[in-house]
C-alpha cells in the first residue's frame, strides 16, 4: 500500500488551529527545550550561520576581552611597562592593544622578564586570533547561496482538465543554476493506532523534479490523483490536518561552480484554490521578450 493511500485511511481528529512549525523560509518556529548548549564546541557553526551584526559583535567582544585579560596580567607584574603609569589599567590595556595588533609605536615597551614573557604569549595569541577571524569572515562572505524567489502562494487548481498543485520559482541572479533538482513533501497531522497525534511526511510525485538549468522561472506541478496525499482535500481539510508543503531545491551555480541549496515552506494558509498565475513572460513593442517579475506573485481566478 502506498504512503498516500495510508494517509487517507488514517482518521484525523478535528483540532484547533496550531501555529506553524516553520516559517516560509524554512526556519524552525518550535523551541528546543532540554538540549545541552555547548557554545564553545559549536561556536564556529554559530558564527558562520548567525547574522553579520552578531558576528562583528562577537569578534569585537572577543577582542576587547582578550585585551582586558592581558592588561590584568600586566598589572599583576607591577611596574613592568616602560613609560606606563604604575597601576594604570588604561595604560596596560592600550599596551595590550599594541602588542596584540603588532603595532608597537615605541612609547610603551616591556621592562621586565615577566612582561617580555606575557608579551611573547600575547603576540602568538594575536597571530592566532587574526588568522581565525580572517578565515571566519572569508568563509562567511564567500559561502555560495542561491537567490531563488518562490511564489508567495501555491495554487491548487485545474490545468488541462487535471487537478494539480503548482507553484513557481524565479532565479534572481544573472547566473544560472544548472542540474537543478527539487523535492516537495507534504507534512500533515495524523492519529496513530493509540490515538496519539503524530506528524508524518509524504513525498509528492512531481511532473518534473529536475531541470537542466534555472535561468528565469520554473513552474513546479504535482498531479492530484487518487494516489496523491492531497486527494479530495479542500481548504478546510488542509487546515484540519495542519498541512505544510516542504520545498527543497539544489543545484550548481554556474559562475561559482559551487553547490547551492534553497528551501521554502507553504503552510495551509498559503494554499489557494482555483486560481492561475499571471503570465510573467511579456513581449515589448519592438518584439523583444522580457520577464516581468512585478507580477511574479500575482494570480487571478480561472
- Name the domain boundary from 83, 114, 142: 142
Residue 27 maps to a domain:
no
SS3 264: strand
Taking each helix axis from N to C end, the angle separating 52-76 and 113-142, rounded to the nearest 10 degrees, works out to: 170
SS3 292: coil
The cell numbers describing 158, all together, are: 485545474
Condensed to tens digits (0 to 9), the pLDDT of residues 217-250 reads 899 999 999 999 998 888 888 988 889 999 999 9
Of 199, 204, 296, 217, the closest CA to residue 247 belongs to 204
Q: Does residue 191 share a domain with residue 156?
A: yes
Q: Does residue 197 share a domain with residue 177?
A: yes
- Name the domain boundary from 108, 123, 142: 142
State the DSSP string of 149-191. Answer: EE-SSEEEEEETTEEEEEEEEEE-SSS-EEEEEEEEEEEEEEE
94: Cβ contacts below 8 Å, ≥ 6 apart: 108
The CATH number for 176's domain is 2.60.40.1400
Q: Does residue 192 share a domain with residue 137?
A: no
State the DSSP string of 71-136. Answer: HHHHHHTSS-EETPPTT-HHHHHHHHHHHHTT---SSSEE-SHHHHHHHHHHHHHHHHHHHHHHHH
Condensed to tens digits (0 to 9), the pLDDT of residues 88-106 reads 999 999 999 999 988 877 7
Q: Does residue 213 share a domain with residue 287?
A: yes
Q: Walk along the chain (302 residues) and give the pLDDT tens digit of each residue.
A: 444 444 443 444 444 455 566 666 656 666 666 666 666 667 888 888 889 999 999 999 999 999 999 999 999 988 888 888 888 999 999 999 999 988 877 788 999 999 999 999 999 999 999 999 999 999 998 888 888 899 999 999 998 889 999 999 998 888 889 999 999 999 998 888 777 888 899 999 999 999 998 888 899 999 999 999 998 888 888 988 889 999 999 999 888 888 899 999 999 889 999 999 999 888 888 888 888 889 999 999 98
What gap in Å lies between CA 297 and CA 220, rounded to an integer?
A: 14
SS3 147: coil
Residue 19 maps to a domain:
no
- Name the domain boundary from 83, 115, 142: 142
Neighbouring C-beta atoms of residue 68, cutoff 10 Å: 13
The CATH number for 97's domain is 1.10.287.70
- Yes or no: say if 23 and 265 are a contact pair by the CB < 8 Å rule: yes
Residue 22 maps to a domain:
no
pTM, two decimal places? 0.70
Q: Does residue 130 share a domain with residue 61?
A: yes
Strand 154-159 to 162-171 pairing: antiparallel
Q: Which domain range does residue 281 map to?
A: 145-301
Residue 130 maps to a domain:
yes
What gap in Å lies between CA 37 and CA 63, rounded to an integer?
A: 23
Residue 294 maps to a domain:
yes
Taking each helix axis from N to C end, the angle separating 52-76 and 89-100, rounded to the nearest 10 degrees, works out to: 120
Q: Does residue 267 share a domain with residue 125?
A: no
Q: Does residue 283 share a domain with residue 155?
A: yes
Residue 34 maps to a domain:
no
What gap in Å lies between CA 153 and CA 212, rounded to an integer?
A: 25
Residue 23 maps to a domain:
no
Q: Does residue 125 share a domain with residue 49?
A: yes
SS3 143: coil
Q: Does residue 186 share a domain with residue 131?
A: no
Q: Does residue 178 share a domain with residue 97?
A: no
Q: Does residue 152 share a domain with residue 95?
A: no
**Number of domains composing the chain:** 2
Give the side-chain half-sphere CA count within 13 A for 54. 10
Q: Does residue 283 share a domain with residue 164?
A: yes
What gap in Å lies between CA 19 and CA 251, rounded to an integer?
A: 31
State the DSSP string of 199-226. Answer: EEEEEPPPS--EEEEESSEEEEEEE-ST
CA 158 to chain centre: 33
Residue 14 maps to a domain:
no
What gap in Å lies between CA 280 and CA 56, rounded to an integer?
A: 40
Amino acid at each position: 500500500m502506498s504512503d498516500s493511500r495510508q494517509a487517507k485511511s488514517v482518521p484525523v481528529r478535528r483540532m484547533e488551529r496550531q501555529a506553524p512549525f516553520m516559517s516560509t523560509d524554512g526556519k524552525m518556529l518550535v523551541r528546543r527545550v532540554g538540549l545541552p548548549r555547548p557554545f564553545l564546541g559549536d561556536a564556529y557553526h554559530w558564527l558562520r550561520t548567525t547574522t553579520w551584526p552578531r558576528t562583528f559583535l562577537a569578534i569585537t567582544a572577543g577582542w576587547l576581552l582578550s585585551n582586558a585579560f592581558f592588561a590584568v596580567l600586566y598589572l599583576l607584574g607591577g611596574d613592568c611597562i616602560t613609560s606606563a603609569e604604575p597601576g594604570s589599567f588604561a595604560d596596560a590595556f592600550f599596551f595590550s592593544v599594541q602588542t596584540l595588533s603588532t603595532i608597537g609605536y615605541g612609547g610603551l615597551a616591556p621592562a621586565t622578564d615577566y612582561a617580555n614573557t606575557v608579551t611573547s604569549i600575547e603576540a602568538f595569541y594575536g597571530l592566532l586570533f587574526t588568522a581565525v577571524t580572517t578565515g571566519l569572515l572569508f568563509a562567511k562572505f564567500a559561502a555560495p547561496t542561491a537567490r531563488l524567489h518562490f511564489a508567495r502562494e501555491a495554487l491548487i487548481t485545474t490545468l488541462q482538465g487535471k487537478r494539480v498543485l503548482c507553484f513557481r520559482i524565479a532565479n534572481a541572479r544573472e547566473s544560472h543554476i544548472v542540474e537543478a533538482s527539487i523535492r516537495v513533501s507534504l507534512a500533515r497531522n495524523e492519529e496513530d493506532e493509540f490515538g496519539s497525534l503524530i506528524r508524518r511526511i509524504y513525498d509528492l510525485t512531481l511532473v518534473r523534479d529536475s531541470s537542466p538549468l534555472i535561468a528565469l522561472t520554473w513552474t513546479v506541478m504535482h498531479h492530484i490523483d487518487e494516489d496523491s496525499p492531497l486527494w479530495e482535500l479542500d481548504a478546510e481539510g488542509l487546515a484540519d490536518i495542519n498541512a505544510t508543503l516542504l520545498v527543497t531545491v539544489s543545484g550548481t551555480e554556474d559562475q561559482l561552480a559551487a553547490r547551492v541549496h534553497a528551501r521554502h515552506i507553504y503552510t495551509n494558509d498559503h494554499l489557494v484554490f482555483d486560481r492561475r498565475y499571471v503570465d510573467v513572460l511579456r513581449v515589448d513593442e519592438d518584439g523583444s521578450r522580457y520577464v516581468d517579475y512585478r507580477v511574479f506573485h500575482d494570480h487571478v481566478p480561472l
